[in-house]
Structure 1
Amino acid sequence: MAVTSRDVARVAGVSQPTVSRALRDDPRLSQQTKERVREAAGLLGYVPSDAGRALSSGRTRRIGLLVTDLNNEFYHHIIAPVHHELENHGYQLVLHTESADDGDVVDRLLANGIDGVVLATTTVDSVAPLRLRDRGLPFVYLNRTGTQVDADATVVSPARGFADAARRAVELGHTRIGAVLGPSNTSTGQSRELALRAAMADHGLALETRFVRRGPYETGVGDAAVTELLALPEPPTLIFCGNDVVAYGALNAAARAGARVPEDVSVVGFDDLPPASWPILQLSTIAYDLEAMAREAARLAVRRIDEPASPLTHSTFDTAFVERRTLGAAPAH
């Protein structure tokens, strides 16, 4: 026969509701009472069920993380930090994927019985934040933000990283500079393009339309775009990529075209994902603390659930240029 909270209450000499409060670490109970209940639970081998906690508290202590594509390496590096931070706060991570940002995703999130959600896929024109707000489900923006609803957010400021990268590019003699930019309907695509253009303008350079391509943050996009750019009569000597995943595709395209990196073309990414520093890649990139940003998003989600009236927080993470093998001097010809 399964051990119940009534059994724990009897052994601990407290009421059944006190058992539930003690195991939730309710601050209204004395530490002595909590310890007595925990000792009784341990003695009996009692493990409170998630369903029982949800019924008694109205919460599931589960938070969703919404991403677009599990094949995209960027998301691989935010899942673990979010999971660990939520676990530290007594919450479980529930992973959701969505290929297109539409209203159905909100219904699925709500049906899954979560207390809140971390949005890592938002477009600037997304309706999901509106529907989450209207349905009363707390949420936090991670990396990307929407324009229709203000909310807690963790974002990157790309200005310093691009300023340092542009300065170094000019020192190395680059004037024909191209870019494979992110989607124009994302806050990251917009902010990184603006920062890159501003950094180049500081040195009297412009990002010419013929050297610009745009697309989702995918390896295939970088591959296809750089294949086109390298086929131009006068290709760019340096290509900035919307993120490291796009840069991986750029490097593939260069290898296929027989273009040496960095002797014929230089490539710079964004994010500084762990593989960027691998000896086989040594990708020059614009870095920030991705793990800290993911953990902060998880903390903000927990706070929004526990303290719904707390003021909104926008946490911004600065960037720095990391120079590695894929950036070199502009070719003489």
Structure 2
Amino acid sequence: MAVTSRDVARLAGVSQPTVSRALRDDPRVSEETKKRVRDAAVLLGYVPSEAGRALSSGRTRRIGLLVTDLENQFYAHIIAPLHRELESCGYQLVLHTETADESVAERLIANGLDGVILATTTVESVVPLRLRDRGLPFVYFNRTAALVDADATVVAPAAGFEVAVDRALALGHRLIGAVLGPQNTSTGRSREVALRAALAARGIPLEAGVVRHGPFDTAAGDAATAELLALPDPPTLIFCGNDVMAYGALNAARRAGASVPDDISIIGFDDLPPASWPILELSTIAYDYVQMAREAGRLMVERIEERPEEFAHVEFETTFVERRTLSAPRAH
């Protein structure tokens, strides 16, 4: 027969509710009583039921992570630090994937979550609106939506682009192209704005003919770069919306027989671990995405447990990391 909290209560000489409070480290229970309850639980081999805890506290201590773009390698690198942060606060991370906004919102609400971290939100997404209307707390990670304000951890791309553009101009690049992310994402928009602003401030136009947009994936980077390299006057440098697109750009250059960086220089964004591998040595714009994931977890727990009046918007600054894929353009 399974040991219950009532068995622990009898051995410890306390009531069953006191056992529950003691094992939750409730400050209303004295340290002496907590120790007696814990000792009794260990002696009997009692393991508290998560379901029972949820019923007594009104919380499941489960946080959802919504990633609708699961194939994007970026998100594989943020799950572990987010999991560790939530686990340290006593919460479990539950991964959710979906594509249709309406079914996503209903599924998140129906899954008994205490909160949701939205990682791949588009600017016009109705998911935040539906979650807000149903009273389910959420935090934006990396991308935000226009319809609803909420706690958020985001990237501030301007500083990294300014340094990268200065370095590119110093090397002699003037015809600069870009393979940018989707225009219906806040990250796609903010990175494009930052790049255009950095170039314009230095008198360099970003011409429409050498700009492409697409999903933040390798295939989009490959296809767009192949188009740019086939132009009569191709750019000597391509800025990519993220590292994953830059991987595709490198593939396209190799396929076209273009030398990187002699014929074409390539700069990514994110500084994912493969960017520093000797086989790639990708120049890229970097920020602390691990800490950004941990901060999203912290904000989520704070929103659930403390319900602060104001929303927190935490920005992570960028820097430029120069590696092998950037050099002076080949003289023609």
CA distance in 2, matches of 1:4, 1:140: 37
Mapped to 2, the partners of 1:302 and 1:317 lie a distance apart of 20
Aligned to 1:21: 21
- How do 1:163-312 residues align onto structure 2 when only pairs under 5 Å count? 163-312=162-311
Structure 1 unaligned runs (5+)?
none
Counterpart secondary structure, 1:239: strand
Letter in 2 for 1:83: H
Following superposition, the deviation at residue 9 of structure 1 comes to: 1.2
Unpaired stretches in structure 2, ≥5 consecutive residues: none
Residue 313 (structure 1) aligns with: 312
Residues 288, 319 of structure 1: 8 Å contact kept: yes
Q: Residue in 2 aligned with 1:99?
A: 99
Paired AA for residue 121 in structure 2: T
Q: SS at the partner of 1:48?
A: coil
Q: Distance in 1 between matches of 2:266 and 2:94?
A: 36
Q: Matched residue of 1:267: which SS?
A: strand
Structure 1 outlier segments of 4+, above 6 Å:
none
Count matched residues.
332
Contact 2:262 2:327 in 1 (8 A): yes
1:239 Cα offset (Å): 0.3
Specify the SS of the correspondent of 2:191.
helix
Give the CA deviation at 1:15. Answer: 1.1
| Alpha-carbon separation, structure 1, partners of 2:125 and 2:113 | 20
The code of the aligned residue for 2:16 comes to: Q
Q: Match for residue 49 of structure 2?
A: 49
Per-residue CA deviation, residues 32-58 of structure 1 (Å, 9 max, x unaligned), is: 322222222122111111111111111
CA contact (8 A) 2:69 2:120 kept: no
Moved more, 164-173 or 5-14: 5-14
Q: Residue 89 of structure 2 aligns to which amino acid in structure 1?
A: H
Q: Do the aligned residues in 2 keep the contact of 1:254 with 1:260 (CA within 8 Å)? A: yes
The aligned counterpart of 1:36 is 36
- For 1:295, give the aligned amino acid: R
Residue 104 (structure 1) shift: 1.1
1:258-289: CA deviations, max 9, x gaps? Answer: 11100100000000001101111100000000
Partner Cα distance (1:95, 1:112) in 2: 11
Quote the offset at 1:311 in angstroms.
2.3
User: Which residue number corresponds to residue 147 of structure 1?
Assistant: 146
Structure 1 position 58 matched with structure 2 position 65? no
- 1:103 match: secondary structure: helix
> Alignment identity in percent?
74
- The answer to whether the Cα contact below 8 Å between 2:8 and 2:37 also exists between their aligned partners in 1 is yes
Given that residues 67 and 98 in structure 1 are in contact (C-alpha distance below 8 angstroms), is that contact kept between their aligned partners in structure 2?
yes
Which letter maps to 2:296?
Answer: A
CA separation in 1, counterparts of 2:68 and 2:15? Answer: 46
Kept in 1: contact 2:63–2:116 (CA 8 A):
yes
Residue 105 of structure 1 and its aligned partner are, at CA, apart by: 0.3
**Is 48-57 or 115-124 further displaced after alignment?**
48-57
Counterpart residue identity of residue 330, structure 1: P
* Aligned residue number for residue 122 of structure 2: 123
Q: Is this contact kept in 2: 1:166–1:200, CA < 8 A?
A: yes
The code of the aligned residue for 2:17 comes to P
